[in-house]
């Protein structure tokens, strides 16, 4: 059994702004940072179906030098490089991401691409995290970007707080991580009113993703009291806020509770607590099988809890307590919570059939968090045990 982490890492994020409209808060941050050429990556639906981005345009005025709204799910390398080419041509000195997880991730990787003048998909190869033949996680060392990022999330997946970002290598259909301390956002703006434009399934499923951050923290033997406390509070806020938003989408107080819960759920990951099999498998379901980001945790989290229970059942008791159901199995509590939100619960419900399971199992072993699951995962056969539970 691994010992708890003896330190907590911090990011280069300077400020998190709570509960203000983005068109009001963003110009103040741009001014504070001394930026004059802002490049915006944003949701296509926000840009074309609402006036939110137009409000940002008006607020930034001549400081806005470009807008990219074509990022597909899971941030394919080609689209990231297309956005980087436009940002380069615009001569930007600050990147702003407004949207869901793929847009947020892409913005951070665009900053890396600009720093290293990456222009072709293969140029990105030396920069991504990988697992070597000995099962060691290798994080390449490279110069961090000088151009910083401000993130404004419209979903609850949590990547807006992280220095780690994901992009998909389209040639092998594998989502890979890129990480540098300076890729973390300099600021995050939590505007709960933006969530009014987010489809219910997307808001709630990405919320389950952040629930999963907290689940895997509280299940990990490498966590510590500080990270456990953050995760437990995150669960309480999300367990309250998400059903309230489902019942009343205009409950902005509940939406902000969700967003703060997301932030708290990310602090252990940023601090160094490794995630486990749910996240590792989820990365493959997303990048390889095109499962929406949040749905990955919806269909995996309770099954991974059940798989891990023989070794970390005592730690899982805090999960049940955070949901207000002490004494019940955590896997059952989380299963009921996800079902109550109307989210899918099986791989078959998200289009992943028996014919994909072996590939998912093999690719999972290449993920950085497959080796840090509380119950040892030694190879694809162990992953298949979980996948068959979830099928």
The pLDDT tens digits of the residues spanning 334-353 come to 999 999 999 999 999 999 99
Residues 6+ apart with CB under 8 A from 223: 4, 5, 217, 231, 268, 273
Give the number of other CB atoms < 10 A from CB of residue 99. 28
Specify whether the CB–CB gap between 40 and 64 falls below 8 A: yes
Fold held by 15-192? Rossmann fold (3.40.50)
Phi-psi category of residue 27: left, alpha or beta, with phi > 0 → left and psi -120 to 50 → alpha: alpha
- The CA-CA-CA angle for residues 325, 331, 335, to 5°, reads 85
Tokens describing residue 125: 């190869």
- pLDDT for res 340: 98
Q: By the 8 A CB rule, do 249 and 305 touch?
A: no
Smallest Cα–Cα separation from 144: which of 11, 257, 253, 256?
11
pLDDT at 134: 86
Between the CA atoms of 298, 225, 239 and 316, what dihedral angle is there, to the nearest 10 degrees? 50
d(CA 274, CA 369): 7
What gap in Å lies between CA 195 and CA 262, rounded to an integer? 14
d(CA 119, CA 345): 40
Q: Residue 153 has which token pair? A: 């999330």
Those residues with Cβ within 8 angstroms of residue 21's Cβ, 6 or more apart along the chain or in another chain: 55, 191, 193
Q: What is the pLDDT of residue 2?
A: 63
Is 1.20.1090.10 the CATH number for 199-390?
Answer: yes
> What pLDDT, on the 0 to 100 scale, is given for residue 293?
87
Cα(198)–Cα(200) distance, integer angstroms: 6
Q: Are 44 and 100 in contact (CB under 8 A)?
A: no
Q: What are phi and psi of 165, to 5 degrees?
A: -135, 155
Using CA atoms, how far apart are residues 351 and 200, in angstroms rounded to an integer?
A: 20
Q: Kindly give the parts of the chain with pLDDT less than 70.
A: 1-2, 5
pLDDT of residue 368: 87
The whole-angstrom separation of Cα 155 and Cα 198 is: 7
**Length of the chain counted residue by residue:** 391
Rounded to the nearest 5°, which phi and psi values hold at 97?
-110, 125
Residue 60: the pLDDT is 98
Instruction: Return d(Cα 20, Cα 40) in angstroms, integer.
Output: 19
Q: What 3-state class would DSSP assign to 379?
A: coil
pLDDT value at residue 364: 97
Question: Which residues contact residue 357 at a Cβ distance below 8 angstroms, ignoring those fewer than 6 apart?
Answer: 347, 384, 387, 388, 391
Q: How far apart are CA 266 and CA 13, in angstroms?
A: 13
Sketch the domain layout of the chain as residue ranges: 15-192, 199-390
Degrees, nearest 5: CA angle 323-324-328: 85
Please spell the DSSP secondary structure of 7-40, one letter per residue.
-----S--EEEES--HHHHHHHHHHHHT---EEE
pTM of the full predicted structure?
0.95
* Residue 40: strand pairing partners: 67, 96
């Amino acid at each position: 059994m691994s010992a708890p982490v003896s330190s907590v890492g911090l990011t280069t994020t300077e400020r998190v702004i709570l509960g203000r409209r983005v068109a009001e808060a963003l110009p103040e941050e741009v001014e504070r940072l001394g930026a004059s050429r802002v490049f915006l990556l944003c949701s296509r639906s926000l840009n074309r179906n609402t006036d939110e981005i137009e409000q940002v345009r008006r607020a930034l005025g001549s400081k806005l030098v470009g807008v990219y709204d074509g990022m597909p799910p899971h941030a394919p390398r080609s689209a990231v490089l297309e956005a980087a080419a436009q940002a380069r041509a615009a001569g930007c000195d600050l990147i702003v991401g407004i949207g869901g997880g793929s847009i947020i991730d892409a913005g951070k990787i665009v900053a890396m691409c600009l720093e290293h003048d990456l222009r072709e998909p293969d140029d990105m190869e030396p920069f991504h995290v990988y697992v070597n033949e000995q099962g060691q996680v290798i994080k390449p060392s490279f110069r961090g970007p000088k151009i910083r990022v401000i993130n404004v999330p419209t979903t609850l997946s949590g990547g807006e707080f992280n220095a780690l970002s994901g992009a998909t290598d389209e040639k092998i259909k594998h989502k890979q991580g890129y990480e540098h301390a300076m890729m973390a956002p300099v600021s995050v703006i939590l505007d709960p009113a933006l969530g009014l434009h987010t489809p219910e399934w997307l808001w709630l499923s990405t919320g389950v993703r952040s629930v999963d951050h907290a689940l895997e923290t509280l299940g990990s033997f490498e966590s510590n009291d500080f990270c456990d406390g953050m995760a437990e509070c995150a669960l309480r806020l999300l367990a309250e806020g998400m059903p309230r938003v489902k019942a009343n989408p205009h409950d902005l107080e509940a939406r902000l509770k969700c967003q703060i819960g997301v932030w708290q759920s990310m602090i252990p990951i940023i601090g160094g607590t490794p995630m486990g099999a749910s996240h590792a498998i989820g990365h493959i379901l997303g990048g390889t099988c095109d499962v929406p980001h949040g749905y990955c945790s919806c269909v995996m989290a309770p099954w991974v809890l059940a798989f891990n229970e023989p070794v970390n059942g005592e730690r899982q008791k805090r999960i049940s307590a955070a949901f207000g159901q002490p004494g019940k199995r955590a896997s059952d509590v989380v299963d009921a919570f996800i079902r109550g939100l109307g989210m899918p619960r099986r791989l078959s419900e998200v289009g992943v059939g028996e014919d994909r399971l072996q590939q998912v199992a093999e690719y999972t072993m290449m993920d950085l968090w497959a080796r840090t699951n509380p119950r040892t995962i030694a190879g694809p056969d162990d992953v298949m045990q979980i996948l068959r539970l979830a099928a």
